[in-house]
Structures are given as C-alpha cells and as structure tokens.
C-alpha cells in the first residue's frame, strides 16, 4: 500500500533518526467514485467500524451550501439534460478555499473521510494531492459498473438522472489508488472492511 503522495518513500515519514520510529497513522481517507457508486454508504460504514473517530466531508456538502446566486446563474454548479455537471468559475474559487480548509482540519487533528467525484480524473487528484501535502492520505477508488450505478440512481430517486452512467468510468481516468473497491457485487460494509485494513 502506498499513500499520499504514492511516489513518496514511506520510510521518510516513519523513520526519525536519532530519536525513535514514531507511529504513523492515516489522517485522510479519500473516496473517489461516480454518482451512485456507493461512497456515502461506505463512508457511514467506515465511521461505524473504525476504532478512532472519523468525520466525513465531501463535495456534495459544499454544493448543498452554495448560495442561490451560484446555483441559479450557472456560475457555480449546473446540471445538463443528460446528467452532466457543469462547473463555473465561482465554483472553482470556492472549492479551492473549501479544500484548503478541509486539509487544515486534518492537520489540526480531525480524521476526515473526503468523498469526492474527480470529474477531471487525474487532474483533480493532483489538485487534491497538492492541498493534502504532508498528510497521510489513503486514496480509495470506489467503482461500480455503470449499468448498476444507473439502476441505483433510479432506486434512490433523488439524483439528477444520467449522472451515474456518465461518471462511472471517467472519474477514475488516470487516478492512482492505494486500494480499490467495487460495490457492484460487494456490500458497502464489506468494502469498508477492505478499506479499513489499509487504515493505520
């Protein structure tokens, strides 16, 4: 298992010459997956089974907090007819500040599960990685077959139709993970157990 940045040498963080080897522990868990792939369910299971207290914060939390000026005008977040998500300049500015703050929470000692949707694939991971620099991050890919995700979108009934299918594959393009789970045939709790084994 590698962590953030996966290219870094783990020993750098665990070996402190002249003093002692100190315990390294995971500070952030990033769950990346398309809409209706099952990230929220996994997040709740992780909070229930991990021995230390974790909180969750995700991109949907920021969307829920946007003012009418950003949701009505299209300068923030808008949704297309086919379920595509359109991000405006107003969004990017806010998202950057939001992510800076979430990273600061983690540096201040809160263990955080970030649930995200890398619409831009690898580019989004790199941007997030830069924000989380210095933190011990576990990168998790949450996959779900696109037909299954689209079916779950209908069963939920509260999401913009089409998002699940559009995002299922694209959000993983070029992204590097420490662990991947697939909710197509595995329950959220079992996925969470797999992930938990990688949490130190």
Minimum CB–partner distance for residue 11 and its own copies (Å): 27
Nearer of residues 106 and 163 to its own copies, judged by Cβ? 106
Q: Residues 3-42: x/- map of binding to its own copies (CB under 8 A)?
A: --------------------------------------xx
Question: Contact between 50 and its own copies (CB under 8 A)?
Answer: yes
Question: Which of these ranges, 100-108, 119-127, 132-140, 168-176, lies near its own copies under the rule CB under 8 A?
Answer: 100-108
Whose CA is closest to 122, among 139, 147, 100?
Answer: 139
Minimum CB–partner distance for residue 67 and its own copies (Å): 4
Binders of its own copies in range 117-176 (CB under 8 A): 148, 151-152, 154-157
Minimum CB–partner distance for residue 2 and its own copies (Å): 25
Q: Which amino acids are annotated catalytic?
A: 60
Binding site for its own copies (CB under 8 A): 41-42, 44-45, 47-48, 50, 53-57, 61-62, 65-70, 76, 90, 93-94, 96-98, 100-110, 148, 151-152, 154-157, 185, 187-190
């Amino acid at each position: 298992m590698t962590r953030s940045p996966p290219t870094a040498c783990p020993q750098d963080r665990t070996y402190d010459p002249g003093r002692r080897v100190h315990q390294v522990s995971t500070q952030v868990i990033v769950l990346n997956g398309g809409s209706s792939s099952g990230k929220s369910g996994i997040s709740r299971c992780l909070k229930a089974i991990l021995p230390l207290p974790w909180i969750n914060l995700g991109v949907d939390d920021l969307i829920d907090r946007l003012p009418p000026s950003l949701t009505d005008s299209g300068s923030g977040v808008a949704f297309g007819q086919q379920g595509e998500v359109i991000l405006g300049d107003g969004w990017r500015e806010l998202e950057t500040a939001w992510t800076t703050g979430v990273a600061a929470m983690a540096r201040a000692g809160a263990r955080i599960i970030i649930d995200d949707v890398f619409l831009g694939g690898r580019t989004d991971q790199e941007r997030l990685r830069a924000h989380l620099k210095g933190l011990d991050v576990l990168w998790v890919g949450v996959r779900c077959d696109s037909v299954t995700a689209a079916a779950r979108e209908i069963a939920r009934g509260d999401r913009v139709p089409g998002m699940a299918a559009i995002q299922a594959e694209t959000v993983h393009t070029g992204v590097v993970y420490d662990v991947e789970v697939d909710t197509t045939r595995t329950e959220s709790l079992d996925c969470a157990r797999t992930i938990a084994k990688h949490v130190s």
